[in-house]
Every structure is written in structure tokens, then in C-alpha cells.
């Protein structure tokens, strides 16, 4: 069965081609079936492969399998093959991408059914799945980079899906440009890897890297550049501003690309290259600081946002910051665990938000909602589960993953733990604020909206229920030892991080310390949840606060970061380009080009006299020419 690995990315590509080419001809139901079906088949294959990897792991092997498709580049002694790598890490990512991808395809069928770009939407989604699978499966950095670029492209296409709205298309452009900055980092890293190791294959680079001393300069460059790439794709400081704007896309896109899969590509990439990062402590510190700063900043912003999707977007940024914090303190398993659980509950929350928006006739402002509990029971219950999960209240999944990261952070430095804890409090607060503003209290929308309220069709509620179940029980994958768990995920992934474990300081906390940490964070989260429920549960007017404080304004205006970038980067660039336009383009290049043109016009006017229309003259010239050519030829033999 493992030989069929190439089918996993191929099927979505086929789906993309069929749906893309047939979007005008095929009926909507068929497009939906093809689009979801290919992903479902990929998911089933992924399940089987995951089973095989598990069996290998149980048998005590490393569980890695390379599938070489063909030699791609072969120059001198530099060889690059188009090959896929199946190992515990990628098999889990496969499950996330295809599994959640399938659910979101099903959801999209209900959500987008009345959109005229239905076929286009499904083909883009399939293309996205294809590139994401390339990214996950690639056995070297270049294939990963292809997927990396490809998902960026799909993200651009889907954010700007309703391209007729110029705000949306500029949001798409913003996302694309921000991603490009990161991609440049990735490219530089790839070049540096070639220069340092002479290869891009993971299987060759990592063993070689393991021989390097701690803090090697080449590794520092590579890892810093890879991290720049990750900040772009995974929306970290200072490149995170594109993610909230990316909410312009249809909600299923936000759930799939901007919550569950693409934005976690950076974490996946760093977890994949864990040995490089472990050997560069400076980069690890940078990652930790950036991660925690992003987590806190985004959490603060999320507290005051009123757009339901914006809250979730900032929440995503904040959770990604947590994952980077985990990576930075060496909790690779924990970070990946959080990727996994976050994919469940954030996809759930986005899809739930989509369901709400659908019911509210595209109203996204939470101040206009309220009291939807009665009308949307399934959405309410599933979103409640998601909210509890993300807030880190046991025994739902978010608690376990967040706890593991926080425990590692505490082990690295208690300061990190405190900061992370504050972030977790904010998370609990803004998520319950969202829940209570949406579902509790009195309905604040218009009469028309109230009349229109309805539960979503089964295509939309089914994924919600599945994801709710996963969010609830996902944490059981990796129950820490302190709670009597087997740390199954850590064991399963251990061959991927084997090199790192050999180098890094082993993680150790006494059980009593862990209990205290868990208790504190649980009590904090529950307290914040109750506080938020009290504060916003009985909201009656659409005006949230009478007198906005300074901090409130700061948070509401997203710390003025967009404005800051505008002043620091955009305006100077604008001015510079105007100068270039006037001085170099108009004055230099244009004049040069015009001079060339005029030269040919004038010389043409002169030479045209020879073209006098007398055939005899032409023949005469031809003979002269032949003589000249022959003379030239024989004089220069």
C-alpha cells in the first residue's frame, strides 16, 4: 500500500483539473462530489498509510519510507529527486490535511451552493490540498518549497475569491506580498543549505547537520532564514498583519487555509528541521521571543474586535505564537500536538462562525448578534465545545496541548510561563466573549435577519459535529505522564526528533510542579470564562463600552500596526518610487528608448530611398551581393 503514496497528492490535482476545466459545464452536485470525493479517497489512503507507519513504529522501526518518483535535477554532483517522504510526522500531517480538508469540502458544498463561482471555488480548494500535500510529503526542501509557494498562491486566489470587491482583492495582494517576504527567506535558506550540505534531501542534510557543533554560524543563517519564512507563512511578528485581512475570503477558506493547515506549515517545517534549530540556540531564543510576543499581542487585539471572523483570526495568530513558543523552548512534540488540536478546534470555530454568518445573512458584526442559542442549537453546542477546548479547560484537547507547551516554557524559564499564562487568560476571555456575544443575551439584529434565522443544512452541521468530537477527545493522543498518560504522540514522533533528543537538555519537571501549573492555568481559564460570560452574556445595546479607555482603543485599532507599516514602509517606498519614476524612468529610460526609436525612424527614412521599386535594380544589387558573399567566403577560407 505504501507504493500508492503518489496517489494522495495526485487525486486532488485531478479534481482541480476536472473542476477547473468543467466549472461552466458540470452541474454543481457533480462538482461537489468530485471535489470532496478526491479528497476523501486521499484521506482513506492516508489512513491506511498511517496504519502502516503505526505498525512499523510498533515493531520498533523508525517508520520512515522514501518513495522516489523520478530524478528531477541532476547537475554535476548535485542531484535532486522528486520524491515523497512518509514518516510519523508527515503521516499525521496527511491525516490533518486530507481529513479536515474533506470535512471542509463537505461544508463548502452547503456554504457556497448559491455562489456563482462554485466550480472555481472547489477547483481552488482541490489545488490547495494538492500543494499542501506536496509541502507535507516532499522529501527535500525544494519540493517543500514548491508546496510552500503553491499554498501561498491558492491562499491568494481564495482570499481574493470575491475579487469584485476591491477591499478583498487588496487583502489578497497584502497576503501575497507578506508571504513573498517570507518566501525570500526560504529561498535564501535553501541556497544556504545547498552551500553548506551540498544536498537538499532531508535524509542527507539532517545526519550531516547533527555533526555540526552547537551554535554554528552556517546553521544560524539557515535557521534564521527558515524562521523568516515561517513568520511569513504562519503569520508571526512582524509579518502577521495579512492573516486578519485574509478573512476576506469565504469562511471555509479561513477554516481550511488560515486556521487548520497552511498557516501551520511554518511549524511543520521547523519541526521537520528540528535538528538544525536545536543546534542554533540564538535562533531558538528569537523564535521563543517572537512567538510569545505574537501570542500576547494578537490575544490583546482579539479582546476588542467585534467582527466574529477577526476575533478568530487574531486568535489563530495568537495560537500560532504559542506553537512557536513551543518550538522555541524545544517542545517540538508539544508544538506539533498543538498544531493537531488547534486544527480541530479552530477549524470547528471557523466553520461554526461560518454557520452563524450564513444564518445571519452575511452579518459578521457580533454586536448585531446575540441569543442565537435557540435558533442554531447544533452550531451553539459544537462552538461551545470548541471554545472550551481552545480556552484550555480540561479535559478537552486544548488543555493538553497548551499545557505541554507551557510546561516546557516553564522548564526553560518561568518568565515565559507567566507570559504564556497571561496569553492563555486572554484566550479564554476573548473566546467566551465571542461565545456570549453571539449566542447569549438578546437578539440585536434587524427584524429581517431575525425572521431569516435558521440552522444550517446537514452538509454544514456534519463537519461541525465531527470536528467537535475530535476537539473534545483529541487531547487523549498525548496525555502527559503526570496524568497517567502514555505520551503516545511523543513516542510515535520520537524518531523524527531523535537527533534533537540526543543533543538537547532532556525535559524534566517533577509531577507536583506540573500539577500546580495545570491547576493554576485551569483555574485562570475558568475564571476568565465566567468573567466574560458575566460581562457580555447580558449585553443588550450594540454599543459595547461607553467610554473607551486608552488600552481599549489601542487594542481596538490593532496597536496601529497597519498604520505603522504604512508610515515606515509603504509611504517611503511610495516616495522613492515616485522619484525613480520621474528621474530614472521618465528622464533616463524613456528618453533612451525614444532616442533608439527616433534613430531607426530617421535612418529608415534615408535607407528607404534605395527601395525604389525597380526590379532590375534589385536584381543588380542581388548579383553584387552574391559576388560579395562569395568573395568574402573564399578570401577567408
Partner 1 sequence: MTAFYFVAFLSIFFALMTIFTKNPVHSVLYLVITFFTFTVHYIMLNAQFLAVVNFIVYMGAIMVLFLFVLMLLNLNKDTEPMKSNLVKIMGAVAGMCLLATFLGAFRVIELDNGFVTGNSDVGLVKNLGKVLFDEFLLPFELSSILLLTAMVGAILLAKKETKEA
Partner 2 sequence: MDHIIQHIQGIPLNHYLIFCSIIFAIGVVGVLIRRNVIIIMMSIELMLNSVNLLLAAFSAYRGDASGQVFVFFVMALAAAEVAVGLAIVIMVYRNTKSVDLESLSKLRW
Q: Which residues bind partner 2 (CB under 8 A)?
A: 608, 611-616, 619-620, 623
- For residues 43 and 24, give the distance between their C-alpha atoms in angstroms, rounded to a whole number: 27
Considering CB distances under 5 to 8 angstroms, the limit depending on partner class, which of partner 1, partner 2, none binds residue 637? partner 1
Identify which of residues 606 and 633 has a Cβ nearer to partner 1 in the complex: 633
> How many other CB atoms sit within 10 Å of the CB of residue 165?
12
The secondary structure of 195-262, three-state, reads HHHCCCEHHHHHHHHHCCCCCCHHHHHHHHHHHHHHHHHCCCCCCCCHHHHHHHCCHHHHHHHHHHCH
Q: Which stretch binds partner 1 (CB under 8 A): 4-12, 222-230, 377-385, 628-636?
A: 628-636
What share of residues in the chain are helix, strand, coil (percent, to 5)? 75, 5, 20
Distance between CA atoms of residues 511 and 533, nearest Å: 33
What is the closest distance, in whole angstroms, from the C-beta atom of residue 620 to partner 1 in the complex?
Answer: 6
- Residue 613 interface partner, choices partner 2, partner 1, none, CB cut-off 5-8 Å depending on type: partner 2
CB-facing half-sphere around the CA of 364: CA atoms within 13 A: 16
Least distance between partner 1 and beta carbon 607 (Å): 22
**C-alpha cell of 499?**
537527533
Shortest distance, position 623 Cβ to partner 1, whole Å = 5
Q: How far is the CB of 628 from partner 1 (least distance, A)?
A: 9
State the residue for C-alpha cell 535607407: 607
| Grid-cell match 512499523, residue found | 56
Question: Which C-beta is closer to partner 1: that of 551 or that of 630?
Answer: 630
The answer to whether 44 contacts partner 1 (rule: CB under 8 A) is no
Q: Name the minimum Å distance from CB 98 to partner 1.
A: 55
583 binds, among partner 2, partner 1, none (CB under 5 to 8 A by kind): none
Cβ atoms of 141 and 270 within 8 Å: the answer is no
Q: Rounded distance, CA 223 to CA 235, Å?
A: 17
- Complex with partner 1: residue 163 or 617, whichever CB lies closer: 617
**Binding to partner 1 by residue 73, rule CB under 8 A?**
no
Nearer to partner 1, 519 or 624 (CB): 624
Q: Which does 77 bind (CB under 5 to 8 A by kind): partner 2, partner 1, none?
A: none
The span from the CA of 479 to the CA of 490, in Å, is: 10
State the Rg of the chain over Cα: 29
434565522: which residue's cell?
453
Report the partner that residue 615 touches, choosing among partner 1, partner 2, none (CB closer than 5 to 8 A by kind).
Answer: partner 2
Pick between residue 575 and residue 621 the one whose CB is nearest to partner 2.
621
Residue 207 or residue 625: which is nearer to partner 1 going by CB? 625
Closer residue to partner 2, CB minimum distance, 413 or 611: 611
Minimum distance from residue 593 beta carbon to partner 2 (Å): 25
The alpha helices in 59-117, defined as continuous H runs, are 88-111
Q: Which three three-digit cell numbers place residue 629?
A: 558573399
Of 573, 593, 602, 626, the one binding partner 1 (CB under 8 A) is 626
| φ/ψ (deg, to 5) at 80 | -140, 125
Nearer to partner 2, 25 or 610 (CB): 610
Question: Which of 180, 150, 102, 354 is CA-nearest to residue 262?
Answer: 150
630 touching partner 1, by CB under 8 A: yes
- Going by the DSSP 8-state scheme, the letter that residue 74 receives in this structure is E
Q: How far is CA 628 from CA 191, 608, 609, 624, in A?
A: 53, 22, 22, 6
Smallest separation (angstroms) from partner 2 to the CB of 192: 59
The residues, any chain, with a CB within 8 Å of residue 503's CB and separated by 6 or more, are 210, 214, 275, 278, 279
Whichever of 600 and 617 has its CB closer to partner 1, that residue is: 617
Number of residues that bind partner 1 (CB under 8 A): 11
Does residue 627 bind partner 1 (CB under 8 A)? Answer: yes
Q: How far is the CB of 627 from partner 1 (least distance, A)?
A: 5
Minimum separation from the CB atom of position 611 to partner 1 (A):
19
Using the contact rule CB under 8 A, the part of the chain among 208-216, 369-377, 572-580, 626-634 near partner 1 is 626-634
CB of 622 to partner 1, least distance (A): 10
Q: What are phi and psi of 73, to 5 degrees?
A: -120, 130
634 binds, among partner 2, partner 1, none (CB under 5 to 8 A by kind): partner 1
Residue 627's binding partner among partner 2, partner 1, none (Cβ under 5 to 8 angstroms by kind) is partner 1
Note the helical H segments in 453-510.
458-473, 488-493, 498-503
- Residue 607 or 624: the one with the smaller Cβ distance to partner 1 is 624
Residues 6+ apart with CB under 8 A from 199: 78, 79, 140, 193, 205, 208
Query: Nearest approach, Cβ of 571 to partner 2 (angstroms)?
Result: 53
Q: Alpha-carbon distance 453 to 374, whole Å?
A: 10
* Shortest reach from residue 621's CB to partner 2, in Å: 11
In the window 605-624, what residues touch partner 1 (CB under 8 A)? 616, 620, 623-624
Should residue 625 be labelled a site residue for partner 1 when binding is judged by CB under 8 A? no
Q: What is the contact surface with partner 1 in residues (CB under 8 A)?
A: 616, 620, 623-624, 626-627, 630-631, 633-634, 637
Amino acid at each position: 500500500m505504501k507504493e500508492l503514496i503518489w496517489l494522495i497528492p495526485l487525486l486532488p490535482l485531478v479534481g482541480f483539473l476536472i473542476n477547473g476545466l468543467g466549472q461552466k459545464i458540470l452541474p454543481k452536485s457533480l462538482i461537489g462530489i468530485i471535489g470532496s470525493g478526491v479528497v476523501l479517497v486521499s484521506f482513506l489512503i492516508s489512513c491506511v498509510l498511517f496504519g502502516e507507519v503505526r505498525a512499523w513504529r510498533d515493531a520498533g522501526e523508525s517508520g520512515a519510507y522514501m518513495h522516489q518518483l523520478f530524478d528531477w535535477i541532476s547537475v554535476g554532483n548535485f542531484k535532486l529527486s522528486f520524491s515523497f517522504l512518509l514518516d510519523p510526522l508527515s503521516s499525521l500531517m496527511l491525516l490533518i490535511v486530507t481529513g479536515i480538508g474533506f470535512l471542509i469540502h463537505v461544508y463548502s458544498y452547503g456554504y457556497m451552493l448559491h455562489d456563482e463561482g462554485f466550480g472555481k471555488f472547489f477547483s481552488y480548494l482541490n489545488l490547495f490540498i494538492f500543494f499542501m500535500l506536496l509541502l507535507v510529503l516532499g522529501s527535500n526542501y525544494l519540493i517543500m518549497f514548491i508546496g510552500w509557494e503553491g499554498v501561498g498562491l491558492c491562499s491568494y486566489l481564495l482570499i481574493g475569491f470575491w475579487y469584485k470587491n476591491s477591499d478583498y482583492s487588496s487583502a489578497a495582494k497584502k497576503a501575497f506580498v507578506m508571504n513573498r517576504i517570507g518566501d525570500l527567506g526560504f529561498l535564501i535558506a535553501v541556497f544556504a543549505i545547498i552551500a553548506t550540505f551540498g544536498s537538499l534531501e532531508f535524509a542527507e542534510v539532517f545526519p550531516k547537520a547533527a555533526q555540526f557543533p552547537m551554535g554554528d554560524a552556517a546553521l544560524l543563517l539557515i535557521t534564521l532564514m527558515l524562521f523568516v519564512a515561517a513568520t511569513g507563512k504562519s503569520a508571526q511578528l512582524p509579518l502577521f498583519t495579512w492573516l486578519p485581512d485574509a478573512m476576506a475570503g469565504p469562511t471555509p477558506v479561513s477554516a481550511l487555509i488560515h486556521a487548520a493547515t497552511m498557516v501551520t506549515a511554518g511549524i511543520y517545517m521547523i519541526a521537520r528541521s528540528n535538528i538544525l534549530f536545536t543546534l542554533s540556540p540564538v535562533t531558538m531564543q528569537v523564535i521563543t521571543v517572537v512567538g510569545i510576543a505574537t501570542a500576547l499581542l494578537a490575544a490583546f487585539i482579539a479582546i476588542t474586535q467585534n467582527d466574529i471572523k477577526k476575533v478568530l483570526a487574531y486568535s489563530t495568530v495568537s495560537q500560532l505564537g504559542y506553537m512557536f513558543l513551543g518550538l522555541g523552548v524545544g517542545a517540538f512534540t508539544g508544538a506539533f500536538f498543538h498544531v493537531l488540536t488547534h486544527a480541530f478546534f479552530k477549524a470547528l470555530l471557523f466553520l461554526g462562525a461560518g454557520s452563524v454568518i450564513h444564518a445571519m445573512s452575511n452579518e459578521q458584526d457580533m454586536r448585531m448578534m446575540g441569543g442565537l442559542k435557540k435558533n442554531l442549537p447544533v452550531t451553539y453546542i459544537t462552538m461551545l465545545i470548541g471554545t472550551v477546548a481552545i480556552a484550555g479547560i480540561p479535559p478537552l484537547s486544548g488543555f493538553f496541548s497548551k499545557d505541554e507547551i507551557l510546561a516546557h516554557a516553564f522548564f526553560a524559564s518561568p518568565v515565559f510561563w507567566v507570559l504564556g499564562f497571561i496569553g492563555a487568560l486572554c484566550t479564554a476571555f476573548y473566546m467566551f466573549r465571542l461565545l456570549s456575544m453571539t449566542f447569549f443575551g438578546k437578539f440585536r439584529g434587524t427584524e429581517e435577519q431575525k425572521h431569516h434565522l435558521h440552522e444550517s443544512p446537514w452538509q454544514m452541521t456534519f463537519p461541525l459535529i465531527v470536528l467537535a468530537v475530535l476537539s473534545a477527545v483529541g487531547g487523549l493522543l498525548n496525555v502527559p505522564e503526570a496524568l497517567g498518560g502514555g505520551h503516545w504522540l511523543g513516542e510515535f514522533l520520537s524518531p523524527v526528533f531523535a537527533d534533537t533528543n540526543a543533543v538537547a537538555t532532556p525535559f524534566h519537571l517533577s509531577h507536583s510542579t506540573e500539577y500546580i501549573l495545570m491547576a493554576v492555568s485551569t483555574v485562570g481559564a475558568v475564571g476568565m470564562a465566567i468573567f466574560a460570560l458575566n460581562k457580555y452574556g447580558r449585553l443588550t445595546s450594540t454599543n459595547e463600552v461607553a467610554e473607551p479607555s486608552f488600552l481599549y482603543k489601542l487594542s481596538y485599532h490593532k496597536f496601529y500596526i497597519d498604520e505603522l507599516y504604512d508610515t515606515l514602509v509603504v509611504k517611503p517606498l511610495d516616495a522613492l518610487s515616485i522619484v525613480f519614476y520621474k528621474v530614472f524612468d521618465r528622464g533616463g529610460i524613456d528618453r533612451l528608448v525614444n532616442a533608439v526609436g527616433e534613430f531607426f525612424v530617421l535612418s529608415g527614412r534615408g535607407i528607404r530611398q534605395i527601395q525604389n521599386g525597380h526590379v532590375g535594380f534589385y536584381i543588380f544589387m542581388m548579383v553584387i551581393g552574391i559576388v560579395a558573399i562569395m568573395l568574402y567566403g573564399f578570401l577567408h577560407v
